[in-house]
Amino acid sequence: MVAGEASGDTLGADLMAGLKKRFPQARFIGIGGPKMQQLGLKSWFPMERLSVMGFFEVLKRLPELLRLRKQLIQRLTEVRPDVFIGVDAPDFNFTVEKRLKSLGIPTVHYVGPSVWAWREKRLLKIKQAVDGVLVLFPFETPYYDRYGIASRFVGHPLANQVPEFPDKAQAKAQLQIDLSAPLTAILPGSRMSEIEQMAEPYFLAAARLQTDYPQMQFVVPCVHERARLRLQEIKQSCAPQLAINFLDGQSQLALEACDQAVVTSGTATLECALMRRPLVLAIKLHPITHWIMKRLSTTEWVGLPNVLAQETLVTELIQDEASSGAIYQELKRLIEDPVLREKQLQAFEKQYHSLNCDASNLATEAVIDWAKLV
């Protein structure tokens, strides 16, 4: 199994748990984060080495990534696993999968790439690389059917992990936050490149909110120690007066405890929606990355809650729009407009139930079928 970032680590661990129930003696090798390692994955390389987003950012790291991938393929070829499962990280994993499939090793890709958003023709190459694709959203399977690729809608593991009735008071108590204090969660991303881009405007917006609402509390889940140290440095340089709680991970607990959140694009927007917490999306990419993605995109939304709803439920502040002033204004509007909050919450409730499908077991059964493990 190979996962390339925190969200993939969560998905990979969920699937590992399902496979371990069916095959208690199974051994797992590859690349993964702390959740997968806790379940027994032997990670050959640090997962952070794969955690790169965007065309320009990948180019800077390309020689290192190519060397790592070559070493990984060589080791997997020697081991010849019963099945290889690439978890997200499509540009990295599809090459690994294609090579292993050519050697007769069953390959599964978990998380269909966003062919519904851009570059649908990628499916022609994907067909050569995989025996099956596990998709998270029900609208994805027709795309794979058109190209003759086996796919299985499994729902989203986050919907299984999020409580059916989130308990804000209990979560605040766990974080030792005053139950009466309004709480805003700040999620600047799991990649260092996202943190470098978004932390300062997020913190500047939070500082203005704290002036307007003196009782307001803020929490920032930190994906690892390096991220925590960098976030603390940025906060100290741009908003030293801002009182903020930096957490070790605990993003789900932070979202359960909060009244609203500001989030970068990606899995965190969906996690926030599934927790049924109002949010604002704000993200900046490298200008070249944004220019390319904008021209290849076939959907008008970035955030998964909006894509699922096929309407603008959540404000999306992208590139120049993602200024500290705009983030502040949109968060303030979200705090003070009950109609806007309620519209988001009603849609999020429907999304939660549509994606709550016992992903671990469904994904496990699909892997068993495609890899002919029994």
pLDDT (tens, 9 = 90+) of the chain, 374 residues, equals 999 888 899 999 999 999 999 999 999 999 999 999 999 999 999 998 886 554 445 566 778 889 999 999 999 999 999 999 999 888 899 999 999 999 999 999 999 887 654 567 789 999 999 999 999 988 889 889 999 999 999 998 889 889 999 999 999 999 999 999 999 999 998 888 889 999 999 999 999 999 999 999 999 999 899 999 999 999 999 999 999 999 998 999 999 999 999 998 778 899 999 999 999 999 987 666 555 556 555 566 678 899 889 899 999 999 889 999 999 999 999 999 999 999 999 999 999 999 998 899 999 999 999 999 98
Token pair recorded at residue 11: 């998905």
Contacts for 220 with CB less than 8 Å, ≥ 6 apart: 185, 186, 187, 188, 231, 244, 245, 246, 247, 254
Burial classification of residue 295, based on how many CB atoms lie within 10 Å of its CB (0-12 exposed, 13-18 middle, 19 or more buried):
exposed
Instruction: Tell me how far apart the alpha carbons of residues 260 and 239 are, in angstroms, rounded to a whole number.
Output: 20
Token pair recorded at residue 28: 């797992």
pTM of the predicted protein model = 0.76
> Are the CB atoms for 227 and 195 separated by under 8 Å?
yes
Token pair recorded at residue 225: 């120690």
* Strand, helix or coil for residue 208: helix
> Are the CB atoms for 14 and 157 separated by under 8 Å?
yes
Our CA angle for 45, 48, 50, nearest 5°, is 80
Q: Domain 2-155+357-371 belongs to what topology?
A: Rossmann fold (3.40.50)
pLDDT at 201: 96
Helix (H) or strand (E) holding 322: none
- Alpha-carbon torsion 178, 272, 363, 97, what sign? negative
Domain with CATH 3.40.50.2000 in the chain: 2-155+357-371, 168-354
Contacts for 116 with CB less than 8 Å, ≥ 6 apart: 139, 140, 143, 298, 299, 307
Report the CATH superfamily, name and number, of domain 168-354: Glycogen Phosphorylase B; (3.40.50.2000)
Instruction: Tell me how far apart the alpha carbons of residues 258 and 255 are, in angstroms, rounded to a whole number.
Output: 5
pLDDT at 374: 80
> Are the CB atoms for 299 and 117 separated by under 8 Å?
yes
pLDDT at 56: 47
Burial classification of residue 20, based on how many CB atoms lie within 10 Å of its CB (0-12 exposed, 13-18 middle, 19 or more buried):
middle
User: Angle between the 55-79 and 90-102 helix axes, to the nearest 10 degrees?
Assistant: 30
pLDDT at 310: 86
pLDDT at 253: 95
Instruction: Tell me how far apart the alpha carbons of residues 248 and 207 are, in angstroms, rounded to a whole number.
Output: 22
Instruction: Tell me how far apart the alpha carbons of residues 267 and 248 are, in angstroms, rounded to a whole number.
Output: 18
**Which residues in 71-81 are b (16+ Cβ under 10 Å) and which e?**
ebbeebeeeeb
pLDDT at 193: 86
